[in-house]
Structure 1
Amino acid sequence: MMILPPLIFAGLAAVFVLGMQREDPDALPSALEGRQAPAVVVTQLGDLPVFADADLRDGTVKLVNFWASWCGPCRVEHPTLEKLADEGVTIYGVNYKDKPEAARRFLDELGNPFAAIGADESGRMGIDWGLYGVPETYVIDGDGNIVLRFPGPVTERVLASDIRPAMEKAAAE
C-alpha cells in the first residue's frame, strides 16, 4: 500500500513531461494545412497585376505572402523574397490592412518580388486564411492546397529549414 502514492506521482509526472514534449512550443498551429486555400478576395493595388483563385490552382507550386509597409519584419524578409523571385518562384503578395500609397512606396524602395499582388484593406482575406499577423507565408501546391503556413519573416534559415522542403513536398504531390 505504501508503494501506491509514489507510483501515482511517477505516472502523473510522466504524463506531464510527455505532454510538454512538443516539437516547437512557440509554433502557431494552422487548421488549413492540407486543405484548399480559402478564396482570394483582394482589390487591385494601383496598376499592379492582381491575382485570383484560379492562379492558386494552375498546377504549379507557389507562395502567398501577407505583408504590410508598416511591418518591420516584412522589411527583414524582403531580400529573401526577392531572391526566391529571381530563382523563378511565383510569389503572390497580399498587402494587409495598409494604405495603398505606403504599400507602393515600400515596393518602389525595396523592389517588387510579387508576380501579382492584391490589397486586403479590410483584413477579411487574412481572417479567412487564419492569419495571426504579418508577415506570414503560405506554400500552395498546384491544386491550390496549403502545404505549409509559416508565421514570421522568411529568412535564409527559414527558407532552408521550412519553405524549400515544403515546396519540394508540394511539387511531389
Structure 2
Amino acid sequence: MKLLKIAYLRWTIPFLLFTVVAIFLWHSLHRDPHVVPSPLINKPLPHFQAPVLGIHSQRMTEQDFQGHVSLFNVFATWCLSCRTEHLVLMDIARSHAVTIYGLNYKDDHRLVLAWLKTYGNPYQQVIEDPRGDLGIDLGVYGTPETFIIDSHGIIRYKYVGPLSSSVWQNILLPQVRYWQAFLK
C-alpha cells in the first residue's frame, strides 16, 4: 500500500507542476503585451508642474488637460520606435481628431527641438521631463507610451509601444471617440 502511494505521488506531483507551468505559459502567450494594467486607469493625472519645451518660463499642469479629450504621448529622441510612431502621430494631428500633448522623457531639450524641426511637430505642447520624474508618477515603463486623457483630466487608457495606423484606427480612435461623445 505504501509503495502504491509513493508511485502515485511520483507521477502526480510532476503532472501537477507541468499543468501549472503550461497554464502560466498559455496565459502569457495569449496576453497582448501592449495592454499593461495600470493602477492609474480611471484616476486623475498626477499633480505636476513642468516646463514647456522651448518656453521654460511657461509651465504646464494637469489642469491643461481639462476641457477636451487628449492623447498624452511619452517619447524621446533616443527611442527608435518613437521615430516610426512619429509618422502616425503626424497623421493624427493632421486629422484634428484629438489634441496631442507630448512628454519628452529623459532627453536633452536641444535634441528634441531639432528632432521636431526635422520630422514635424504633432504636439499642441511638449512637456520636458529630463529626469523622468513625471514619467515615474505616470508609471511609464519606457518609450513610447500613449495615454488617453478625458476632458476631466482622468486617465482612461494606456497603450505601451509604438502606435501604428492600425492601432490608431482600431484601438485608440474608438476610445477617443467614446470619451468625446460620453463627456459632451
- Counterpart Cα distance in 2 of 1:25 and 1:153: 14
Quote the residue 1:148 is aligned against.
Answer: 157
Deviations 1:98-153 (A, max 9, x none): 01111111101000110011100110000000000011100011111111101111
Counterpart contact for 1:41–1:125, Cα < 8 Å = no
The reply on whether 1:26 has 2:33 as its aligned counterpart is: yes
- Counterpart Cα distance in 2 of 1:164 and 1:94: 20
- Counterpart Cα distance in 1 of 2:32 and 2:118: 36
Judge which range, 75-84 or 163-172, deviates more. 163-172
Counterpart contact for 1:74–1:135, Cα < 8 Å = yes
Task: State the shift of 1:21 in Å.
Answer: 3.9
Q: Summarize the Cα distance change of 1:142–1:76 in structure 2 as closer, same or farther, 3 Å threshold.
A: same
Judge which range, 102-111 or 45-54, deviates more. 45-54
Counterpart of 2:131 in structure 1: which amino acid? Answer: S
Task: State the shift of 1:161 in Å.
Answer: 2.3
Quote the residue 2:46 is aligned against.
Answer: 38
Which of the two has greater helix per residue? Answer: 2
Which of 62, 65, 69 is 1:61 aligned to? 69
Which of 107, 120, 124 is 1:111 aligned to? 120
Counterpart of 2:55 in structure 1: which amino acid? Answer: D
Taking every aligned residue pair, what percent have the same amino acid on both sides? Answer: 32
Counterpart contact for 1:39–1:125, Cα < 8 Å = no
Quote the residue 1:95 is aligned against.
Answer: 104
Task: State the shift of 1:84 in Å.
Answer: 1.1
Counterpart of 1:166 in structure 2: which amino acid? Answer: Q
Q: Summarize the Cα distance change of 1:62–1:25 in structure 2 as closer, same or farther, 3 Å threshold.
A: closer
Task: State the shift of 1:160 in Å.
Answer: 1.8
Judge which range, 93-102 or 37-46, deviates more. 37-46
Judge which range, 13-22 or 68-77, deviates more. 13-22
TM-score by length of 1: 0.84
Counterpart contact for 1:50–1:117, Cα < 8 Å = no
Counterpart of 1:134 in structure 2: which amino acid? Answer: T
Counterpart of 1:30 in structure 2: which amino acid? Answer: S
Gaps of 5+ in 1: none
Counterpart of 1:130 in structure 2: which amino acid? Answer: G
Task: State the shift of 1:87 in Å.
Answer: 1.5
Quote the residue 2:3 is aligned against.
Answer: none
In our comparison, the structure showing a higher alpha carbon Rg is: 2
Which of 159, 167, 171 is 1:162 aligned to? 171
Which of the two has greater strand per residue? Answer: 2
Corresponding pairs, count: 171
Counterpart of 2:136 in structure 1: which amino acid? Answer: I
The reply on whether 1:80 has 2:98 as its aligned counterpart is: no
TM-score by length of 2: 0.79
Task: State the shift of 1:47 in Å.
Answer: 3.3
